[in-house]
A and B are shown apart, each in its own frame.
Chain A
Amino acid sequence: MSRPVLSVKDLTITYNSSAGPVPAVRGVSFDLAVGESLGLAGESGCGKSTLANSLLRLLPEGTVTSGEVTIDGQDLFALSPGGLRAVRWTTGAIVFQGALHALNPVQTAGRQVCEPMHIHETVASDDEARARSRQLFERVGLSANLLEAYPHQLSGGQRQRVLIAMALACDPQLLIADEPTTALDLMVQAQVLALIAELRKESSLSLIFITHDLSVLTYVADRLAIMYAGRIVEQGPSLDVFQNATHPYTKALAAAFPTIGDPASRRAPSGLAGDPPTPGALPPGCPFHPRCPLAEDRCSTIEPDLRSSGPGREAACVLI
């Protein structure tokens, strides 16, 4: 296998709050191959967005990070400010959720798409940037006359497409999408997911797709990593993990998205008692044990590491 575009080893991220240190990510490791798509799923506070932001060093000042992140062969944490600027947009680009707030309300969509090209000097002239932004708009399925539109004149789906066009402006190898479809309607979500699938088919773009919606990930991700309380608790091929989860948390999460037509979930919504833990106050042992239907005595003292749970699969549970 060729060199991975992204390699994360034992990454730990701790925020400093007035109430003390808050461990948001607690020892996460994974590799992402060129052209591969990884889905990161979990609930609020599981650390998935923190992880995404850390991959381009977008975390707030004062956050304590340890471990290693290698992006396109470069040590992310050793990069100079100049080197970091070069990595952002050109090597890795991020698409955030909430497309309304991520765009500048007083600039046209076209100008915002041109901006990273100017900053990174990937184009020689204004004309070239404009030509490229027209191309990008076409690629994401937007009509060229929307280049002159302001964000408030666009619909939610159109704004999300503008953000994707912007992220693609400097032809990155890695696209990080943080809940890009969460605020969108079903049909518009389908349009955006189809667009992302198409972009991946056209190029060797690698993708990290973050969402709480497991069912979306079976569609866009080759591999799935489930996070709970700052750690990956299960990973493997996406459909395999969704349909045959081994970790009790993954099972509960997968069951929360019913298969329409399946008599087992008809008039039988499935959920878990309790809430995801707050990162500042994790339970001892396996952080899932207070909600786990299978918990045993030892679970309150042992925090299990990932171990093999099948071909290409790992899970962190003492019962495996």
Chain B
Amino acid sequence: MSAIVSLRDVSVHFGSSRAVDGVSVDVKPGEVLALVGESGSGKTTLIRAIQGLQPVTSGEITHTPAPGARPAGSDRSRGNRGVQMIFQDPTGALNPRQTIYEIVAEGLRIRKESKDEAARVARALSRAGLRPPERFFPMYPHQISGGQRQRVVIAGAMVMEPDLLLADEPVASLDASIRGEILALMLDLVGETGLSILVVTHDLGLAWNIADRVAVMYLGRIVELGPTEQILGSPKHPYTRALLSVVPETNRMEQQILTGEIPDSRRIPVGCRFHPRCPLFQSGTLPDEVASRCITEDPDQLDSSANWSVACWAVAAEGKPEDGSVGA
């Protein structure tokens, strides 16, 4: 099946800062893809580019509407209607002076799609779990709970009947007990409407909860991509391994705490961008011919058509992961 959104060698540079630096990835119809990484990895810039709010410096983003979907709008300033976004903080995303009805109807009004407005708003609210929807029409954001506010944000996106939902840390600002409700809703939406979700998060537990595939981003590049079970069960890339080792639950594996923070995207290290922090490279145990590649050659971008791919010279030297390819 063809991808809903296909990224080919996408870069977004701000002056000398290479925030997104060569990303190729597909979002398939009906899948939940988690883009994980730390602050400064470029994940927020990348989804702004997919939404059409951030011009790309080079590369290509192709949106192929799902069969039967309305054609995508061509007006960049309004973004792409087939691609809708939900943000982290529902309270900040909602205008306190608008009723729930007005908030959810806003997207339709901007696009002057006034036909069946009330029915469409009701359907979106109900889809987001706010039932009966008419009860919520006249209410203001302060009259509903935090969990319900995030549902209103989701309804505001769903009213446009998107085929791709971009979610930037959708539960990071919510209380723990509400988190699960919103994630379950996202899974329901995929099941009921067949839409795809690209969720940006630093929470690997969230990926385990809802994602079909995980893409791990480091310093503007996806370094490992594959099915959730594999990426979170037996990660190959040393960065993914380190991230997983510090998830503070039960200590399943020895912690590998990397020193320092993600480098400045204006000064991306030469060779493999991860090598200055890489526990494998720093251990000095790599064969010379591998280690010398780490400091001189940038591993190629991942093969986005492979089931599981890793951008690491050491992994490449070891052999391919099971039925996957190594981007090197």
List residues of A whose CB falls within 8 A of some B CB.
Answer: 43-44, 155-157, 185-191, 193-194, 212-216, 218-219, 239, 243, 252-253, 255-261, 265-276, 291
Contact = CB atoms under 8 A, between A and B. Distances in A.
A269 B145 contact: no
Interface in B100-130: none
Contact of B38 (A187, A216, A256, A275): A187
B146 interface: yes
Best-buried of A185, A239, A252, A271 by chain B (most CB within 10 Å): A271
Given A258-B209, A265-B209, A269-B210, 15 more contacts: A44-B146, A157-B261, A186-B243, A188-B38, A212-B176, A218-B249, A261-B232, A261-B233, A271-B178, A271-B183, A272-B180, A272-B181, A273-B181, A274-B145, A291-B177
B257 A190 contact: yes
B175 A259 contact: no
A218 B248 contact: yes
A248 to B, nearest CB: 11
Interface residues of B, number: 40
Contact of B180 (A43, A189, A255): A255
A253 B177 CA distance: 6
A39 to B, nearest CB: 11
Interface string B180-210: 1111100100000000000000101100111
Nearest to A261: B233
B286 interface: no
Given A194-B257, A269-B184, A275-B178, A260 B248 contact: no
Contacts, number: 123
Given A257-B205, A258-B208, A275 B147 contact: yes
A138 to B, nearest CB: 15
A267 B187 contact: yes
Contacts of B147: 274-275
Interface in B245-285: 246-250, 252, 255, 257-259, 261
Contacts of B248: 189-190, 193, 213, 215-216, 218-219
Best-buried of B146, B179, B210 by chain A (most CB within 10 Å): B179
